[in-house]
Structure 1
Amino acid sequence: MTLTWFTTTAEPGELLLRGPGLKGTARYATEPVLEEALDYTEAELAQEIAGLAQGSWLHQGRNYKHTVDITGLRAGSRYRYTVRAGDATRSGGFSTAPSTDRWNRIRFVALADAETEPLGRVQRREWAPGALADGFAARPSAEEGGTWDGVFGTTVLSQVRTLRYMLTEDEGYRENLRIIDRRRPDFVMMPGDLVQGGGYQPGWDEFFRHNAGEVGGGLSERPILPALGNWENFGALNGGYGTPDDRMPVVRSRDKYHAYFDSPDNGTPAHRDNYYRVDYGPVTVITLDSSNGEPDDAPANYPDEQKATGQQFNGPGTDTQNNYTREEYEAAGGTDLADFNPGSVQWNWAEEQLADARARGQIIFVQFHHAPFSSGEHGLPMDHAFTSGQGGTPMRQYQPMFEEYDVTAVLSGHSEMFERSFVDEDGDGVGVYYYDVGVAGDGLRGERRDGSSLDDPLLSYNPFSEWTADQHEPERWELVDGVLQLVEGGKHYGHLEVDVERRPNGVRVTMTPVYVFPVLDGDYRLQRTERRVYDDVLVLDLDSSGRARAVTG
C-alpha cells in the first residue's frame, strides 16, 4: 500500500502502523519533498469569487509531500495508521486486497467529472431537461421571478430557459461521497476530470477537502485509482490550454497530477502515472490515458462541405482533443504525453496487460476518461459538424482488443451524464459494457440534440446505447401539499457501484447505477438526500476464468 500525505511545513514526518503480521507498531520516517508545482500563482492569490470571502478557500504555507510504500502486508487484512508531522497527527485505516484464491466479495465504485473548485460551494449547475413521466405534471416553471428561480435560480441553456439544480456542486459531490462511504467500498475508481482545471491549485485543494480533509475522509480509508481527464490537462485560471506558442499551462496541469498520484510502474518512465495496472485480488483494473492521440487532429481540418451531419459516422478518428499538439507540448518542456493509437507504446502495453490478465483468469475492468460510445456532448468525432473538438470516438479502436480479452466493463466519463452501452462486434452475445459515469458532482447534461437548441430532437448518435438516465429514468412530478415536487427519476449526481461476488461455479458481477435524490420541503428547502437506484441494475455471470456466461438482469 502507498500512503501519501502533505504538510504545509518542511518538518520530517512519521508513520505508525499496526495490524496483522507486525510486531507491535511499525515506524516509518519521512523526509518531505517540496512540491513547487503545487504553489499558488498570483492569479489564484488575487482571485475573487462572488458569495465567498476573498481568499477564504486558500491554505497557508507550501506543499510538502510525504510518501511511504509499505510492503510485507498480509492479504485481506485490516491495518490502522497514524501520521505525524510536528505536533499534528492524523489517523486512519485501510484494508489490503485479498488473495486471488481466498476471497468472497469485492465492492468498488466508479465516478467521474467531480471537477471540484471553490466556486462549487455556491454554484448550482443548469439542469438540462430530460424525459418526463407520462400522465404526471411537467417541471415547475423556469420563468424569471418564479418560485424555483427565487430559490435555486434559472438560466438559459442552449437557447432555452432552464432550471438550475437543487444542490450546489459542492453539496452534490459531498452527498455522493457520503453515500459511498456508507457502502464501504474496497476502492474508488475516478476516470478523469477530478478537478476544474489540473493547473488550478484551489481545485485540488477542494478535491482533497472533500476526500481527505475537513469535509470527508474517504481516501484516508481506501485507495483511489485515478485517470487523467481533459480537465487535468487544463490550466483554468492560469492560462487555460495556453497558446500555440506557449503550452506551459498544460505542462503545469499535468505536473500537478503527477505530484499527487504515484501509480504502479508501467515500464516507461516518461509515462509513469499516465497508464497503469492494479490487481485487487481476482479483479484487474487497467487505467489508460486518453488525453492525446496521434496524428493530432482538429475540426478545422475538415471543410464545412465535408463534415459529417446527423448520424453519419465516417470513422473514429485519431485524436480526442484539438487543444494542443505534441509538438507544442514538448516545445513547452513537457515530456510525458502518451499516444493511445494502434502501435503506440501505450497500446502495446495495454494488449500485453490484457493478455496476461486473461491468462491468469482475472475479472478485467478498464477505465479512461473519454467515453468511446456516448449519446452526449462529447460523443461525436472530430469531423462532425457538431463536434466539441473533444470527442471520445478514437477510443473505439480498443473495442476489438477488449472483446478478445473478455473485458467485463469499460468505465469513462466526459459527457457528464449517466449512460450504459453494449458492444458485441462478433455477434456471439458476449461483448463489452461501456459506462459513462460522469455524474460525480459537476454538470448534469442530457443527450445531444440534433441542433443548437434543447427544443431540437435527439441526435441519438450512439447506436450502442441501451440506457441513459436522461431518457430512461423519466422525472415524475406530483403536487405534495399543494407544492409541485419531484418524487422519482431524473438526472442527479451519482456513481456506479460494482459488486464482484464469488459463486460455486464462477463469479457474479452486479453493476448498480446509484443516484443522490434531494428531498425538499414545501418551501423548496433541502431536508435530506437519499440513496436511490436507477432501474438498470445489470447482473453478469462469469465462469471461473473470468469470461462472461450470461446476463440475468
Structure 2
Amino acid sequence: MHRSLRRTLSAVVAALLALALLAAPSWAGPPRHDEDFRVNPYLQNPSSTSMSVTWFSTTDRPGLLRLRAVDGHPRTRVWRTTPEEQPVLEYTQAELDEEIAGLEPGSWLLDGGSFKHVLDLTDLEPGTTYEYTVHQGRSRFTERFHTAPAADDWDSIRFIAMSDSETEPRGRVQYREWAPGLGGENRPAAQGSAWAETFGTAQLLGEDVLRYALTEDDGYRRNLDVVDARDPDFVLNTGDLVQGGGYQPGWDEWFRHNAGSAGSGLSSTPVLPAFGNWESFGALNGGYGTPEDRSIVVQSRAKYHAYFDAPGNGHPELTDSFYRIDYGPITVLTLDANNGVPDDAPANYPEDEQAEGREYFGPGTDTQNNFTRAEYEAAGGTDLADFHPGSAQWTWAEANLADARAAGQIVFVQFHHVPYSSGEHGLPMYHADTSGQGGTPMRIYHDMFERYGVTAVISGHSEMFERSLVDADGDGVGVGYYDVGVSGDGLRGERRDGGSFADPLLSYNEFSQWTADQHEAEQWAVVDGVPQLIDGGKHYGHLEVDVRRTSTGATVTFTPVYVFPVLDSEYEVVRTERRTYDDVVTLELDASGRIVG
C-alpha cells in the first residue's frame, strides 16, 4: 500500500485509537492540552529497523510513547523518557526585550521551560508503517512514520532537499527583496506601481527593486505545504535553518513550521540536517562575538546540538557535525563545510594579489572569515570539523564512500557551502569581490566524489536555485551539484560583473548548467487591469528527488519545484501552486549504484 493511501486512512484509525485510549484505564486522561509540548515529536535517523523520536516539553515530567505496527502484529510497545533540561535554549534578556514592528510585543515568545525527550525506537521491521502516540503531561500527540525498506527489497523512494529557510519572527511581516533576473525588465515599476505600494521595495546594487509577493513566513509555510503533500520518505536540509543559531526565537519559528502549531511535517517525515553558517551566528545576542570572546558562536552551535542528534562518526566531539544515514539502497553523507584550516580572510590578500573578474587561482582553504578555530576553541568550543585532507572528516568521508560503493549503494552528499556557484557566495576568499563566505574550498572533495560515483551533491548558501555539472576525468559522467537555497528567505540571482543590474553576468561558475535566475524568464501579462506574473521567475521552492528501481539498477529524477503565488486584481494571494522548472534531469544507474555514462 502506498504511503499516501496509508496516510489517508490514518485519520480514521487515529480517531478509533483515541477513543480506545480514553476507554482503557491505563490510557485514561483529560482532553489534549497542547501547551505541554514546546516542540511536537519529530523524527530523525531513519533506517530499515529503527527511528529516533525527539520532542520538547514545557515541564520536567517524563513522557511516554506507545508504538504499534499498523498492518502487522497488534502488539504495542511502550517507552518512557527521562527528560533533560536544556538551559542553552532559554531566552536572553535581549530576546525578551526585542520589539518587532508589525507584531505584538512578545507575541512570538513561548511560555514554560525546555525539556528534551529522545527515544531510539529499535528492532523495527523494514518497509513498515508504525503509529505512535506520545503522552506528555495532559497532552497527547499521534502520528505515523514509515521505516526504510531493506536495501535489497524496494521499489521507489522520494526525498526532498531544502536549504536556507532562515526563520525568525520578523519573517511573519517581512517581504524579501526580489532580485530581477531574466524577464525582470517586464516587471511593474519599482516606484509608483501598485505592486511596489502593496509589497514594498528594497535597494540592491544601488537600485530600487520590488519585494516578493509572500512574506518569508508565508513563503516557507506554503513551501512546506507542497512538500508535505508529496509525501516524501525523508527531507534533507543543508543548513541555514534559522536566522541566527544563537537566536532562540529563530529556532522557535523553525519548529513552529516543522513540528508545531503552523505545521508538523517532521512528525511523520524524518529530517537530515546539516550545519550552515547561520547556525554559528548569534544575531541580536552578539553576532559572531569578538576575537577576544567567541562564546556566542559556541552557544549558537550548542543550540543546534540540543535539537539534533546524529549517528556516531567515531569522533564524539564532532558528533552531529558529519554523519551517515542509510535509507534502504540510498546512502546520504552529511558534511560540515563551516571551517577550513588554515583560517583565511580577505584581509590576507593585498589589492595587487586579489583575483578579479573570472580569475580563479584555486579553491582556497576556508569558507568563513568570521572567526578562527583558535578563537572558537578558546571560548570552549570543541566541535569544529576541519574538512581538508588528513582531517578526521576527510578520512571519515572517504572510508564511508568506499564502504557505500562496495555495498552498491546510491550515494548522495549534502553540506551547506555550495562549491560551484554563480551567486553571492561563489567567489574564493582571495577574490576582490568575495563575500568572505565562498564555498569554493569544498571543491577539494570533487575528485573523491567522482571516484566513488556520488550521484549528486546538494548544498545551499547562495540563496538561489542552480545546477552545475563537473566531469573532471572527462568520462562523460561527472557529478551534479545543486544549490537549493530557496526554502523561505533569499531570492537572489547570479552575480553581475559590475555594480548594477545593467552590467553583464559575471559567470564565475564555468560548470553551471541552469539557474532559475537566468533560464526561467518571468512572464508578465495584464490580468483584470493589473500587471500579473503568470509564470516563470524566482520563487520559494525545493528539489524533489525520485529514485526508482529498474531491472538493471535504478533511475534518479531531479525535479526543481517552485511554489507560485496566484494573485487577484488587488494583489491579494488567492492560492499558491506547485509548479516545476524546465530542468528536470533523469539519470540511469547500474546495479552497483553508479551513473551510466
- TM normalised by structure 1 equals 0.98
Residues in 1 aligned to 2:450 and 2:124: alpha-carbon distance in whole angstroms: 35
* Secondary structure of the corresponding residue to residue 64 of structure 2: strand
Residues in 1 aligned to 2:530 and 2:524: alpha-carbon distance in whole angstroms: 10
Alignment pair present for 1:10 and 2:60 = yes
- Aligned 1:84-95 pairs, distance under 5 A: 84-95=135-146
User: What amino acid sits opposite 1:80 in the alignment?
Assistant: E
Alpha-carbon deviations, 1:508-529, whole Å to 9, x = none?
Answer: 0000000000001111111000
Alignment pair present for 1:52 and 2:103 = yes
Partner of 1:296: 343
Alignment pair present for 1:152 and 2:206 = no
Structure 1 residues 496 and 465, CA, compared in 2 at 3 Å: closer, same or farther?
same
Partner of 1:476: 523
Residues in 2 aligned to 1:40 and 1:242: alpha-carbon distance in whole angstroms: 18
User: What amino acid sits opposite 2:61 in the alignment?
Assistant: E
Partner of 2:454: 407
Partner of 1:139: 187
Task: Please say if residues 354 and 405 of structure 1, whose CA atoms lie closer than 8 Å, have aligned partners that are also in contact.
Answer: yes
Partner of 2:44: none
Of 287, 291, 298, 2:334 maps to 287
User: What amino acid sits opposite 2:348 in the alignment?
Assistant: N
Residues in 1 aligned to 2:165 and 2:499: alpha-carbon distance in whole angstroms: 26
Task: Please say if residues 21 and 73 of structure 1, whose CA atoms lie closer than 8 Å, have aligned partners that are also in contact.
Answer: no
User: What amino acid sits opposite 2:537 in the alignment?
Assistant: G
Partner of 2:41: none
Residues in 1 aligned to 2:471 and 2:399: alpha-carbon distance in whole angstroms: 22
Alignment pair present for 1:61 and 2:112 = yes
| Deviation for aligned residue 1:21 | 5.8
Alpha-carbon deviations, 1:164-214, whole Å to 9, x = none?
Answer: 000000011001000000000000000010000000000000000000111
- Aligned 1:334-373 pairs, distance under 5 A: 334-373=381-420
Alignment pair present for 1:276 and 2:323 = yes
**Bigger mean CA deviation after superposition, 14-23 or 251-260:** 14-23
Alignment pair present for 1:77 and 2:121 = no
User: What amino acid sits opposite 1:121 in the alignment?
Assistant: R
Partner of 1:201: 248
- Aligned 1:8-47 pairs, distance under 5 A: 8-19=58-69, 24-47=75-98
Partner of 1:97: 148
Residues in 2 aligned to 1:343 and 1:376: alpha-carbon distance in whole angstroms: 30
Alignment pair present for 1:432 and 2:479 = yes
Alpha-carbon deviations, 1:413-451, whole Å to 9, x = none?
Answer: 000000000000011101000000000000100001112
Partner of 1:548: 595
User: What amino acid sits opposite 1:374 in the alignment?
Assistant: S
| Deviation for aligned residue 1:23 | 5.2
Superposed CA RMSD:
0.9
| Deviation for aligned residue 1:314 | 0.5
Partner of 1:236: 283
Residues in 2 aligned to 1:35 and 1:115: alpha-carbon distance in whole angstroms: 22
* Secondary structure of the corresponding residue to residue 565 of structure 2: strand
Task: Please say if residues 403 and 432 of structure 1, whose CA atoms lie closer than 8 Å, have aligned partners that are also in contact.
Answer: yes
Alignment pair present for 1:460 and 2:507 = yes
Residues in 2 aligned to 1:252 and 1:481: alpha-carbon distance in whole angstroms: 52
Residues in 2 aligned to 1:243 and 1:21: alpha-carbon distance in whole angstroms: 57
Q: How many residues align?
A: 546
Of 215, 234, 238, 1:168 maps to 215
Task: Please say if residues 148 and 154 of structure 1, whose CA atoms lie closer than 8 Å, have aligned partners that are also in contact.
Answer: no
Residues in 2 aligned to 1:86 and 1:61: alpha-carbon distance in whole angstroms: 13
Partner of 2:47: none
| Deviation for aligned residue 1:22 | 5.3
User: What amino acid sits opposite 2:133 in the alignment?
Assistant: T
* Secondary structure of the corresponding residue to residue 549 of structure 1: coil
User: What amino acid sits opposite 1:156 in the alignment?
Assistant: Q
| Deviation for aligned residue 1:482 | 2.2
| Deviation for aligned residue 1:224 | 0.1
Identity of aligned residues (%): 66
Residues in 2 aligned to 1:342 and 1:384: alpha-carbon distance in whole angstroms: 23
Alpha-carbon deviations, 1:472-493, whole Å to 9, x = none?
Answer: 0010111112211111100000
User: What amino acid sits opposite 2:590 in the alignment?
Assistant: D
Residues in 2 aligned to 1:189 and 1:274: alpha-carbon distance in whole angstroms: 15
Alignment pair present for 1:110 and 2:161 = yes
Residues in 1 aligned to 2:568 and 2:137: alpha-carbon distance in whole angstroms: 47
| Deviation for aligned residue 1:92 | 1.1
- Structure 2's unaligned 5+ residue stretches are 1-50
Residues in 1 aligned to 2:373 and 2:88: alpha-carbon distance in whole angstroms: 21
| Deviation for aligned residue 1:337 | 0.8
Alignment pair present for 1:315 and 2:362 = yes
Partner of 1:515: 562
Alignment pair present for 1:380 and 2:427 = yes
User: What amino acid sits opposite 2:188 in the alignment?
Assistant: P
User: What amino acid sits opposite 2:66 in the alignment?
Assistant: L
- TM normalised by structure 2 equals 0.91
Residues in 1 aligned to 2:552 and 2:341: alpha-carbon distance in whole angstroms: 44
Partner of 1:267: 314
User: What amino acid sits opposite 2:189 in the alignment?
Assistant: S
* Secondary structure of the corresponding residue to residue 180 of structure 1: helix
* Secondary structure of the corresponding residue to residue 375 of structure 1: coil
